[in-house]
Homo-oligomer: A and B are copies of this chain.
Amino acid sequence: MSGHLDAVLARVDAGLEQSLERLYALLRIKSISTDSAYKAECQRAADWIVGELKGIGFAAEAHATPGHPVVWAKGAAQEGPHVLFYAHYDVQPVDPLNLWRSDPFEPTLATDAHGRKIIVARGASDDKGQMMTFIEACRAWQAVTGSLPVTVSLMLEGEEESGGKNLPPFMEAHKTELGAADIALVCDTDMWNRQTPSITTMLRGMVGEEIEITCADKDLHSGMFGNAARNPNQLLAEIIASLRAPDGRVTLPGFYDDVAEVSPEIKAQWQGLGFDEAAYMAQAGLSIPAGEADRSVLEMLWARPTCEINGMIGGYTGDGFKTVIPAKASAKISFRLVSGMVPEKIRDAFRKHVEAMIPADCSVRFTSHGGAPAITVPSDGTYLQQALRGLSDEWGTPAVITGSGGSIPVAGDFKRILGLDTLLIGFAQIDDAIHSPNEKYDLDSYHRGIRSWVRILAALAV
């Protein structure tokens, strides 16, 4: 089959414009999973993908869940391994909308400050663009050879950006069939840099929590009750401030108990990557790392847990001024976990810490927004080595093995539920502004991402 490789790659090059048009069609669908107003759009995205997959020979179906559908597609059985590909078709909300330079759901091909062509739209990078690199690679193989080099299944999620709580039950329900695969492939990660492809073998886990504090039983006039009535804004600020020590460490009791120090070998390998702290911070317009005082930025991102306040609100936040003491204040807080940390232990420590700070005449309500442990993929497997070879061939540079600050809970579920290891291979760039206004995907990531998968499928078939 690998004798067809050059023809398939040529087919990818010749069909790039049509590949782009298909990506645009998907990007136009407003599949924001966290906001129930977009429920029909999520269904529409799933249906659109099913149509595309059927068109290239897959038996595909959008499976209903209590939330948004899971797209499950099965290709014809082939010689060699069976790969289960995962990506997600849902996207983040787009606010603040006024910071977008173009409509987030009307994809445009722009040129960045360095003269690079970029695809600008919500989901261009996270994760519709990445998902389509794999589908378009399958399309090219199918077009040239009438089949695929290995057996391919796809499982595409619609709730990755909103807790993803309906996917594990789906995997449980179809455990035997899904677990028949030999390896999972996930396309939702970065390249090391524009020249160097990478496979991520360390991913942080996550605990999401929301707290709502109630003090008075109604909003109060700050002249009539100021000083005397507990102000939930003040209380919430005190709780949040108490979560980090002045040296940046998270203060929850036991928070670092299960966190292992990075081994000297791994540290040496990271050293070899030539990570530029100042350049990394500059991408956010910052220059002073904010985390634990005695850790490098790379260590903070890949090997240390976090506590971040993703949102907080209380009282009057409109135009002008209102001298109110609100009844309630709330915050959304996430903890990224590293290998060894137990999500429920962290959640418990957090809730106990908060409860201890609530005065007897006030109350707090907790809402869980999911939890998943960190995962580490063994770095010596055959599939990993084959995939590294396919990547290295495409980019002309040895592919590297990296960690990631992000969380991809599904990789943990693949292991736990299906017994599968996962290869995390992606073509995003750090400046893609995922979850932010003006999200983009390099045209080069898209084009060579498709070519990379063409090569990886061939390499896995050997």
Task: State the number of copies, please.
Answer: 2
The distance in angstroms between the C-alpha atoms of A438 and B327, with both chains bound, is: 14
With A162-B320, A223-B336, A288-B361 already in contact, the answer to whether A309 and B210 are too (CB < 8 A) is: no
The distance in angstroms between the C-alpha atoms of A48 and B33, with both chains bound, is: 49
A50 to chain B, nearest CB (A): 25
Q: Please choose the segment from A53-61, A114-122, A379-387, A399-407 that sits at the chain B interface, where 4 or more of its residues have CB less than 8 A away.
A: A399-407
Q: Which residues of B contact A311 (CB under 8 A)?
A: 233, 314-317, 322, 324, 326
The distance in angstroms between the C-alpha atoms of A227 and B162, with both chains bound, is: 22
Closest partner residue, chain B, to A243 (CB atom):
B234
The distance in angstroms between the C-alpha atoms of A233 and B312, with both chains bound, is: 7
Which of A162, A309, A332 is most buried by chain B, counting CB atoms within 10 A of its CB?
A309
With A220-B436, A315-B332, A332-B315 already in contact, the answer to whether A322 and B233 are too (CB < 8 A) is: no
The distance in angstroms between the C-alpha atoms of A87 and B220, with both chains bound, is: 21
The total of chain A residues at the interface (CB under 8 A) is: 102
Which of A92, A233, A433 is most buried by chain B, counting CB atoms within 10 A of its CB?
A233
1/0 per position for A324-361, CB-CB distance to B under 8 A?
11100111101010000000000000000000000111
Within the complex, which residue of B227, B321, B433 is in contact with A332, where a contact is CB–CB below 8 Å? B321
With A311-B324, A321-B163 already in contact, the answer to whether A285 and B231 are too (CB < 8 A) is: no
Q: Which residues of B contact A285 (CB under 8 A)?
A: 216-218, 361
Q: Which residues of B contact A35 (CB under 8 A)?
A: 318-320
Q: Which residues of B contact A102 (CB under 8 A)?
A: none
The distance in angstroms between the C-alpha atoms of A231 and B311, with both chains bound, is: 10
Are B230 and A290 closer than 8 Å at their CB atoms?
Answer: yes
Which of A221, A227, A369 is most buried by chain B, counting CB atoms within 10 A of its CB?
A227
The distance in angstroms between the C-alpha atoms of A288 and B248, with both chains bound, is: 32
Q: Is A124 an interface residue (CB 8 A)?
A: no
Chain A residues at the B interface, C-beta cutoff of 8 Å? 34-36, 92-93, 95-96, 99, 161-163, 204, 206, 208, 210, 215-231, 233-234, 236-244, 248, 280-281, 284-292, 297, 300-301, 304, 306, 308-326, 329-332, 334, 336, 359-362, 369-370, 404-407, 430, 433-438
16 additional contacts, CB 8 Å, given A227-B300, A228-B301?
Answer: A34-B320, A34-B321, A93-B316, A210-B321, A219-B437, A221-B435, A223-B407, A225-B284, A228-B300, A241-B241, A290-B359, A310-B321, A312-B317, A313-B314, A313-B317, A317-B332
Q: What are 18 A-B contacts defined by CB distance under 8 Å?
A: A92-B322, A215-B286, A221-B434, A224-B406, A227-B291, A228-B280, A233-B312, A234-B241, A238-B240, A309-B314, A310-B322, A310-B326, A311-B314, A312-B313, A312-B329, A321-B334, A322-B435, A323-B407
